[in-house]
Amino acid sequence: MSIMNLKNNYQDIIDFFNANVSNENNENLDKDNEIKVLINYFQEDFEFESEDKSYEVCDFLNEDSLNRLFKNKISAIHIPNYISPNICDKIYNNIEQDLSDEKWENTDMFQGYGLPVNFMFGPTANDCINYFSQVIPIIRKLRSISGGISPVDKLRLELDEIWPDGSKITNSNSFKRKAFVGLTRLMKPDGLVGNETKKNGLVHIDGPLKGTSGSGTYSSNIYIKTPSDGGELCIWDVSLSSNSSENLDNLQKLLNYAFDKNFREEIQSLLQKILPKPIVIKPEIGDLILLNSCQPHAVKGFQNGVRLSMQTFIYFENGKPLDLYS
């Protein structure tokens, strides 16, 4: 079905974007200056304190480990062999020809299969319509390829079974529509960027570093294909209590510019210098990793093979079902 044909069904989205057109475009000079000030701020022999938290390796998803993750007592949960390599191979072989060649701007990641939640926010109504119109077809296609429940179905069902408040695909957005889950993202050596980042990955956060108590954004990844060497996940458990509020605020600002076209390499090598020693997890095919994605994290580069992961965010809020979206 073409986008034009869908427009009648998505009139609410078109109306929303028409009413919320943004006209701001003169912020670049201020931004460059702010970045330079931030880089200078951290120049001397500075190093952030770590929380010395760790991560748990579990045979199964379980409520206790999830509780520790959501209360920020641990940085990640690693469940090896969550999905059989056979299903992972089936998925890879079926979607390989449909994997997008489009890169995420200024990153080392190809968009892969499915559209990320950023598209929900435009910049045009068509981006948003594209996002919502792929939700059900792709979720069902992945289920059908898997010959039963898909990896992300399994995750959602098990979270619903074990988490007292349940788990669901979110519809908490301006359009009250169901989000996509199970975004398959691709990394391969010819997409890696920069010098520092080619080896050590792009350090970033997916939510506010300081977070708020009783809620937070976590990320799940199921690994469909992994390189034999490299591709490790690094997580920096920067302490929120031992580091000063000012330093954390400036780190947050620096991370906001982690992918900046002009300053990316400089910012990334500075981050590698000022962050404490990371937790490093090497995922294998079929593994599931849940992590606190408000902590700085990155994926190390690799020279051979591809790394395909099925990613879904998990938004936790006390007393509410876990909200899933990609």
Strands 297-299 and 288-292: unpaired
Per-residue contact string for residues 184-223; x = within reach of Fe ion by CB under 5 A = ----------------------x-----------------
State in angstroms the smallest separation of the CB of 297 from Fe ion: 6
Q: Which is nearer to Fe ion, 74 or 234 (CB)?
A: 234
Dist. CA 325–CA 171, nearest whole Å: 9
Closest CB 293 distance from Fe ion, rounded Å: 5
270: tokens are 């500075």
Cβ closer to Fe ion: 62 or 107? 107
Residues 246, 19: contact at Cβ < 8 Å? no
For Fe ion, give the closer residue by CB, 158 or 206: 206
Q: Which of 92, 115, 90, 93 is nearest to 102 (CA)?
A: 115
> How far apart are CB 57 and Fe ion at their closest, in Å?
21
- One-letter amino acid identity for 213? S
Orientation of helix 85-95 relative to helix 151-162, angle to 10°: 130
Q: How far is the CB of 267 from Fe ion (least distance, A)?
A: 16
Q: For 141-168, b where at least 16 C-beta lie within 10 A, e where not — what string?
A: bbbeebeeebbbbbbbebbeebbeeebb
- Residue 129 or 271: the one with the smaller Cβ distance to Fe ion is 271
Nearer to Fe ion, 129 or 235 (CB): 235
User: Under DSSP, is residue 306 helix (H, G, I), strand (E, B) or coil?
Assistant: coil
Size of the site for Fe ion (CB under 5 A): 1
Supply the minimum distance, in Å, between the C-beta of residue 266 and Fe ion: 20
Q: Per-residue x/- marks for Fe ion, 75-114, CB under 5 A?
A: ----------------------------------------
d(CA 74, CA 52): 9
Binding site for Fe ion (CB under 5 A): 206
